[in-house]
Amino acid sequence: MSSHSILFLLTEDLLARILGKLASDSDRRAWRLVCKEFHRVDSIHRTSLRILRIEFLPNLLTKYSNIRLLDLSVCPRIDDGTVAFLLSRDSVGSFVRLKELVLSRATGLRWGGLEMLVRACPGVEYVDVSYCWGFGDREAAALSCAVGLRDLRMDKCLGVTDVGLAKIAVGCSKLERLSLQWCLEITDLGIDLLVKKCEDLKLLDISYLKVTNESLRSIASLQKLEVLSMTGCSLVDDVGLEFLGNGCPLLQVMDVSRCDRMSSSGLISVIRGHSDFLQLNAAYCFPELSTTLLQGMKNLKNLKSIRIDGTQVSDCSLETISTNCKCLAEMGLSKCIGVTDMGIMLLVSGCFNLKILNLTCCNSITDAAISAIADSCRKLLCLKLESCNLITGKSLEWLGSCCLQLEELDLTDCCGVNDRGLNYLSRCSELLSLKLGLCANISDKGLSYIASNCSKIRELDLYCSTGIGDDGLAALSSGCKKLKMLNLSYCNEVSDTGMEYISQLEELSDLELRGLVNITGAGLTAVAAGCKRLAELDLKHCENIKESGFWALAYYSRNLRQINLSHCAVSDMGLCMVMGNLTRLQDAKLVKLSNVTVKGFELALRACCVRMKKVKLLASLRFLLSTEIIETLKARGCKLRWD
pLDDT in tens, 442-495: 999 999 999 999 999 999 999 999 999 999 999 999 999 999 999 999 999 999
- What does the H/E/C string look like for 216-264? HHHHCCCCCCCEEECCCCCCCCHHHHHHHHCCCCCCCEEECCCCCCCCH
pLDDT in tens, 61-107: 888 888 899 999 988 778 888 899 888 887 557 888 899 999 999 98
Q: Which of 93, 86, 172 is closest to 126 using CA atoms?
A: 172
Q: Which of 140, 127, 203, 198 is closest to 168 using CA atoms?
A: 140
> Does the CA dihedral 99-104-109-112 come out positive or negative?
positive
Give the model's pLDDT for residue 1.
Answer: 45
Between 134 and 340, the higher pLDDT residue: 340
CA 293 vs CA 300, 338, 366: distances in Å? 11, 17, 28
Distance CA 259, CA 286 (A): 9
Query: pTM for this structure?
Result: 0.92
Residues 195, 222: contact at Cβ < 8 Å? yes
Q: Which of 376, 399, 377, 375 is closest to 388 using CA atoms?
A: 399
Distance CA 502, CA 511 (A): 10
Of 28-32, 83-87, 127-131, 155-159, the range with the lowest mean pLDDT is 28-32
CA 519 vs CA 19, 83, 128, 491, 542: distances in Å? 41, 43, 40, 11, 7
- Taken as a whole, the chain contains a residue count of 643
How many CB atoms lie under 10 A from the CB of residue 8?
A: 10
CA 97 vs CA 49, 106, 121, 125, 128: distances in Å? 13, 21, 7, 11, 17
Distance CA 531, CA 510 (A): 10
pLDDT in tens, 132-152: 988 999 999 999 999 999 999
Share of the chain above pLDDT 90, in %: 78
Give the model's pLDDT for residue 442.
Answer: 97
Burial 563-578 (b: 16+ CB within 10 A, else e): bbbbbbbbbbbbbbbb
CA 599 vs CA 405, 446, 575, 618: distances in Å? 55, 48, 11, 14
What three-state secondary structure class fits 44?
Answer: helix
Residues 600, 575: contact at Cβ < 8 Å? yes
Distance CA 183, CA 424 (A): 48
How many CB atoms lie under 10 A from the CB of residue 252?
A: 19
pLDDT in tens, 213-224: 999 999 999 999
DSSP 14-30: HHHHHHHT--SHHHHHH
